[in-house]
């Protein structure tokens, strides 16, 4: 009989990808992995932590402490910690939380698998195989690890190291395998999509990779996440324009528009270059939906620089936008060389202003879709009321389409594509019927 083992994933989709690989390896040793259960009952619990920013680190620590208490009370037997937080801070956390039985980093969790007793040995999975935790028609596809950019505020290179591309053939083999099992939507992720291939092949290979992925039978949507603006692989715009199954969607974190702030951030780009990149993207990919992330309160952001940021949001009118207030991270360039003098409440107020402007922009852009018919991938069917997403909407972070119940809608299953006529809209949801 297989032994239950609970896996709890904190943080981003890249962490989720790692947890899915871990779960596949645990299955091969006779375990029955359960992911993010609301009722953790397995004798062994593994927490895959996040260490990106202070809030994420605190959430991971809180989860570890909660499980440590459960162990003290006898509700679980063994507690294991892995991932970004333990990669960076494991040595200092270990004496503080003695209830944790073993600490692993982000890249040595194979040792953890080997250390666990074999319950029932099965064939070893191929290196790329995963146990999907996402719906069976959708997945995240991580194509590289690490980052070479060394932005002033970012701790990711300190955690993950230099940029390392996966083999193109390995990615394509995994894509073919998943598509054959019914996966239709591939959300391509990396810390830096733009650099894919440079380390392994000596040139930027994202366009070739996505083109070859799009040739695979059963791949209906490919969506691109986390491109870097400098050294952008411009060949990808031709692929997006010509391949129907490559979504007109690009997630490119720009962080700021003020040249002063961008220089402090060590982004190696200025204001005009940023505007030019956006204009070129929209020119080369008609109908492109552009998602970005912006930061408020970074050192050097005075009233003038913040006004530039607000003007930028109003001028560019991003289709999707996320944001966060700057938080100093230990050992980063900014922590060592730049004084964090902007009060936290000012950072938060500025972020709120940005998001209020974006909310109105999102509402106006959505209103333009009223009366249009759009293709929607269905995620839920609640007694005929459908919830889904367009090609311009990534899972979990982007708007949804709510489809009113009808006799026809009752027969539709999650994973089906349907044509929906949009009847009304607000900032973060579209409403329609089939």
pLDDT band at residue 223 using 50, 70 and 90 as cut-offs: very high
Same domain, 149 and 185: yes
Q: Are residues 413 and 293 in the same domain?
A: no
pLDDT tens track for 18-27:
999 999 999 9
User: Burial level of 162, CB count in 10 A (0-12/13-18/19+)?
Assistant: exposed
Determine the average pLDDT of the residues in 402-423: 95
Residue 250: φ, ψ to 5°: -145, 130
Rounded Cα–Cα distance for residues 387 and 384 (Å):
10
The domain that contains 185 carries what CATH number?
3.80.30.20
352: left (phi over 0), alpha (psi -120 to 50) or beta: alpha
In the predicted model, what is the mean pLDDT of the chain?
96
For 276, the domain range is 138-367
The reply to whether 126 falls in a domain is: no
**In the predicted model, what is the mean pLDDT of residues 148-165?**
95
**Is 408 found in the same domain as 292?**
no
Looking at the structure, tell me whether residues 348 and 412 fall in a common domain: no
Confidence bin at 109 (pLDDT 50/70/90) = confident
122 pLDDT band (50/70/90 cuts)? Answer: confident
Using the 3D structure, point to which of 115, 146, 167 is the last residue of a domain: 115
For residue 341, pLDDT beyond 80: yes
pLDDT above 90 (res 54): no
Structure tokens at 166: 């996966």
Per the domain annotation, does 122 fall within a domain? no
Among 336, 367, 398, where does a domain finish? 367
Confidence band, pLDDT 50/70/90 cuts, at residue 38: confident
pLDDT band at 51 (very low <50, low <70, confident <90, very high): confident
Predicted TM-score of the model (pTM): 0.94
Same domain for 418 and 352? no
Asked if residue 206 belongs to a domain, the reply is yes
pLDDT tens per residue, range 137-147: 999 999 999 99
Among positive and negative, which fits the CA dihedral 20, 22, 25, 30? negative
Q: How many domains does the structure of the chain reveal?
A: 3
Cβ count within 10 A of residue 285: 20
């Amino acid at each position: 009989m297989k032994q239950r083992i609970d896996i709890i994933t904190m943080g981003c989709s890249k962490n989720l990808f790692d947890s899915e690989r871990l779960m596949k390896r645990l299955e091969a040793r006779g375990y029955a992995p359960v992911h993010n259960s609301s009722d953790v009952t397995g004798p062994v619990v593994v927490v895959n932590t996040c260490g990106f920013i202070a809030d994420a680190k605190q959430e991971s620590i809180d989860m570890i402490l909660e499980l440590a208490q459960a162990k003290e009370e006898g509700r679980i037997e063994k507690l294991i910690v892995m991932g970004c937080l333990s990669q960076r801070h494991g040595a200092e956390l270990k004496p503080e939380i003695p209830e944790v039985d073993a600490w692993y980093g982000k890249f040595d969790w194979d040792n953890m698998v080997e250390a666990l007793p074999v319950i029932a040995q099965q064939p070893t999975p191929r290196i790329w195989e995963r146990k999907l935790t996402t719906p069976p028609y959708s997945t995240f596809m991580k194509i590289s690890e690490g980052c070479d950019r060394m932005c002033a505020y970012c701790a990711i290179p300190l955690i993950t190291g230099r940029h390392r591309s996966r083999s193109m053939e390995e990615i394509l083999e995994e894509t073919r395998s998943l598509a054959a099992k019914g996966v239709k939507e591939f959300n391509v992720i990396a810390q830096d999509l733009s650099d894919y291939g440079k380390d392994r092949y000596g040139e930027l290979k994202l366009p070739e990779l996505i083109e070859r992925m799009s040739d695979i039978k059963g791949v209906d949507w490919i969506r691109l996440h986390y491109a870097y603006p400098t050294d952008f692989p411009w060949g990808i715009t031709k692929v997006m324009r010509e391949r129907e199954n490559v979504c007109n969607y690009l997630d490119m974190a720009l962080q700021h528009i003020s040249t002063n702030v961008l220089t402090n951030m060590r982004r190696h780009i200025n204001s005009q270059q940023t505007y030019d990149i956006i204009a070129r993207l929209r020119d080369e990919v008609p109908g492109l939906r552009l998602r970005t992330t912006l930061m408020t309160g970074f050192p050097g952001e005075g009233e003038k620089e913040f006004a530039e940021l607000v003007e930028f949001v109003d001028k560019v009118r991003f289709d999707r936008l996320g944001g966060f207030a700057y938080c100093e991270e230990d050992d980063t360039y900014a922590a060592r060389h730049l004084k964090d003098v902007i009060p936290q409440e000012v950072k938060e107020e500025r972020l709120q202003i940005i998001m209020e402007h974006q909310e109105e922009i999102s509402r106006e852009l959505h209103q333009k879709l009223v009366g249009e018919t759009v293709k929607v991938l269905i995620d839920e069917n609640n007694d005929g009321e459908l919830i889904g997403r367009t090609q311009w909407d990534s899972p979990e972070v982007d708007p949804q389409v709510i489809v009113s119940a009808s006799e026809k809608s009752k027969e539709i299953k999650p994973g089906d594509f349907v044509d929906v006529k949009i009847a009304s809209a607000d900032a973060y949801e579209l409403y329609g019927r089939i």
